[in-house]
Amino acid sequence: MNTKLTSFIHDIINQDLEEGKNQGKVHTRFPPEPNGYLHIGHAKSICLNFGLAQEYGGLCNLRFDDTNPSKEDLEYVESIQEDVKWLGYDWDDRLFYASDYFDRLYEYAVRLIKDGKAYVDDLSAEEIRAYRGTLTEPGKDSPYRNRSVEENLDLFRRMKEGEFPDGSRVLRAKIDMASPNLNLRDPVLYRIQKTTHHRTGDKWCIYPMYDYAHPLSDAIEGITHSICTCEFEDHRPLYDWVIENVKGNFPSRPRQIEFARLNLSHTVMSKRKLRQLVEEGYVRGWDDPRMPTISGLRRRGYTPEAIRDFCERIGVAKAVSMVDIALLEHCIREDLNFKAPRVMAVLRPLKVVLENYPEGRTEWLDAPYNQENPELGARKIPFSRVIYIEQEDFMEEPPKKFFRLAPGREVRLKHAYIIKCERVIKDERTGEIIELRCTYDPATKSGMATDTRKVKGTLHWVSAEHAVNAEVRLYDHLFIKANPEEDKDTDFKQNLNPDSLVVLSSLVEPSLAGAAPGSRYQFLRQGYFCVDPDTTGGSLVFNRIVSLKDSWAK
């Protein structure tokens, strides 16, 4: 694990602490909107917010930013909590919902109206947009901008009481229609939306906008550092305006700090796009092992340690960049190299008969689980006359550097003997190789004093009589292109990788019978694999987490 890196965010916090702001407290929050499952980008935000709180001896809240009832659902609320916990973070008793504050937010809005700082506007959404102006042109005042306080109070109350249809009126802040920052041109604070909320039911038919609810939720909770992604940089003056102008009695004066969101190659990260993949059946669900969601990565076999390590290595910066997915893969290899038992599985089996090995005999060979980590112990593996090796480990006419099996050549079977290929048996009709006839050299048993011969190749194998069937799911990148969203004119789904899933009928060594879902192994020479929850009673299903070959350029 790396030592903690410091970032520009640390510099800001250190300075705030030096200046004694917020009584020297550090209090952060992770504020997901419960409108989808969390993805690896959210993991970056979680590690950052909870991580900073840990480093500074502060606190971090989990807050659901549930101000948009039409897209939100309890299913997401539950999955988000599960994912944050799984990543190794704990909000203790600080689980909050922006909807907890709807009453207070309403009172603050009334206060803004009374102070002449907010008004009810009857313009339609399109008119508001047109009146807003552009970066080069100032906006125009709404004809409703100068309503009296009394009229505004009356209309806002009636908005709340459901007298007006959706979209007919909004509450706007009265700031500056000529501001060079478009976010300050009288932003909308409340909209009418007659939708049942997953927590407040039908109590409300007006809902606060993000730019209004977010700073106030932060201030109410005593947040000191409100960390968000760079798209919100231009919203920061509005964040400050809201907190300053509602004149609440808040436990802290939060400040917003922006950092670059994570973009990862060969995948997409927006919940909206991920939802499309789920709803249109391109993947099996939010937890499909090809998805960049936390639940997908978990099912694939990623560990929380590897994800935290990844988030630390990528660090935080202001500049947006694309991180190569090979780095994430590198992190899980690093984590499992030592931890995972190394076992033998033949993904695409080719039958081998050892002609000089007695029929009916079984030897149980000693096989340590991980030579680099003796603590994992050992098991015995059965050896017998008929075994399977990997199809790709045999070639009838091999090139020079092929150090595997070929007619007349020798290889070592891992933990067992040296064998020699004597004959190739083919299907008479198709010409396909269906079996190899080999001999073994009894003097070469691994670990015996007589085992003095060296051969170049060592193959993994399983005993035919003892092997266990398994379905093995090999995953590749979900998208062919590094940046599937690069071309704005084509649908990102056109860049889906048609071979992102390959399913094989494989054979694994018998020690894997009964392996529990979630357990992780290295299949020798193949990669890291994890038992999928689809595994039931007798039938094992494995997901390939990652192959052994590391393409990460250090």
Residues placed in the known binding site for ATP: 33-35, 39-45, 229, 261-262, 269-271
Least distance to ligand ATP, CB of residue 394, Å = 45
Cβ-based neighbour number of residue 544 at 10 Å:
22
Pairing of strands 433-441, 386-390: unpaired
- Given the structure tokens 């009334």, which residue do they identify? 110
Site for ligand ATP in 197-236 (CB under 6 A): 228-229
Nearest distance in Å: CB 211, ligand ATP: 13
- Half-sphere exposure at residue 201, Cβ-oriented, CA atoms within 13 angstroms: 2
Question: Would you state the structure tokens that stand for residue 275, as one six-digit string?
Answer: 């939802």
41 binds, among Mg ion, ligand ATP, none (CB under 5 to 8 A by kind): ligand ATP
Exactly one of 31, 301, 382, 527 binds ligand ATP (CB under 6 A); that residue is: 31
- CB 289 to ligand ATP: min, Å: 19
What torsion do the CA atoms of 297, 302, 304, 305 make, to the nearest 10 degrees?
Answer: -150
Among 25, 44, 169, 330, binds ligand ATP (CB under 6 A): 44
Which single residue brings its beta carbon nearest to ligand ATP?
A: 41
Nearest-approach distance from CB 235 to Mg ion, in angstroms: 11
Can you name the residues that pair with 421 across neighbouring β-strands? 438
Which of Mg ion, ligand ATP, none lies near 45, with the C-beta cut-off 5 to 8 A by kind? ligand ATP
If you search the block for the tokens 């029929």, which residue do you land on? 359
Report the SS3 class of residue 383: strand
Nearer to Mg ion, 33 or 441 (CB): 33
Q: Is 169 a catalytic residue?
A: no
CB 264 within 8 A of CB 485: no
Residue number, 72 or 393, with CB nearest to ligand ATP? 72
Residue 194 to residue 402: CA distance in whole angstroms: 69
- Interaction between residue 7 and ligand ATP (CB under 6 A): no
Catalytic residue chosen out of the listed positions 33, 151, 422, 471: 33
Q: What is the SS3 assignment for 310?
A: helix
- Is 271 annotated in the active site? yes
53-61, 70-78, 212-220, 269-277 -> range binding ligand ATP (CB under 6 A): 269-277
Strands 225-229 and 255-259, by their bridges, are: parallel
Place of tokens 């003056």: 237
Q: Least Å distance between CB 32 and ligand ATP?
A: 4
Site for ligand ATP in 129-148 (CB under 6 A): none
8 A C-beta contact, residue 93 and residue 59: no
Nearest to 96 by CA among 3, 218, 191: 218
Show binding-site residues for L-glutamine.
65, 210
The length of the chain is 554
Partner residues linked to 366 by β-bridges: 380
Residues at the annotated binding site? Answer: 33-35, 39-45, 65, 210, 229, 261-262, 269-271
For residue 171, how many other CB atoms are within 10 A of its CB? 27
Contact residues for 481 (Cβ-Cβ < 8 A; gap 6+): 266, 495
Residue 44 touches which of ligand ATP, Mg ion, none (Cβ within 5-8 Å per kind) = ligand ATP
Catalytic residue among 104, 253, 261, 481: 261
What residues from 168 to 187 belong to the interface with ligand ATP (CB under 6 A)? none
Q: Which of 270, 276, 439, 483 binds ligand ATP (CB under 6 A)?
A: 270
Residues 453, 455, 460, CA angle at the centre, nearest 5°? 115
Helix ranges, 19-89 (H): 40-55, 74-86
Task: Kindly state the number of chain residues that form the binding site for ligand ATP, as judged by CB under 6 A.
Answer: 15
Quick check: 292 binds ligand ATP (CB under 6 A)? no
Cα dist. 79→85, 291, 357, 489 in Å?
10, 15, 54, 33
- The interface partner of residue 424, options being Mg ion, ligand ATP, none and the CB cut-off 5 to 8 Å by kind, is none
Q: Which of 16, 33, 334, 476 binds ligand ATP (CB under 6 A)?
A: 33
From the list Mg ion, ligand ATP, none, pick the one residue 27 interacts with, judged by a Cβ distance below 5 to 8 Å according to partner type.
none
Q: Which residues contact 198 (CB under 8 A, 6 or more apart)?
A: 34, 66, 69, 72, 73, 74, 77
Contact residues for Mg ion, defined by CB under 5 A: 33
- Give me the least distance between CB of 510 and ligand ATP, in Å please: 44
Is 18 annotated as catalytic? no
Among 45, 67, 295, 500, binds ligand ATP (CB under 6 A): 45
**In the range 53-112, which residues lie near ligand ATP by CB under 6 A?**
65
Using the rule CB under 6 A, which residue among 13, 41, 241, 345 binds ligand ATP? 41
DSSP string, 106-139: HHHHHHHHHTT-EEEE---HHHHHHHH--SSS--
Counting Cβ atoms within 10 Å, is residue 151 exposed (0-12), middle (13-18) or buried (19+)? Answer: middle
Candidates 25, 132, 271, 544; catalytic one: 271
Q: Which does 187 bind (CB under 5 to 8 A by kind): ligand ATP, Mg ion, none?
A: none
Nearer of residues 99 and 506 to Mg ion, judged by Cβ? 99
Q: 183: which DSSP letter?
A: G
Which residues have a catalytic role annotated? Answer: 33, 261, 271
Contacts with ligand ATP, residue ranges (CB under 6 A): 31-33, 41-42, 44-45, 65, 228-229, 261-262, 269-271
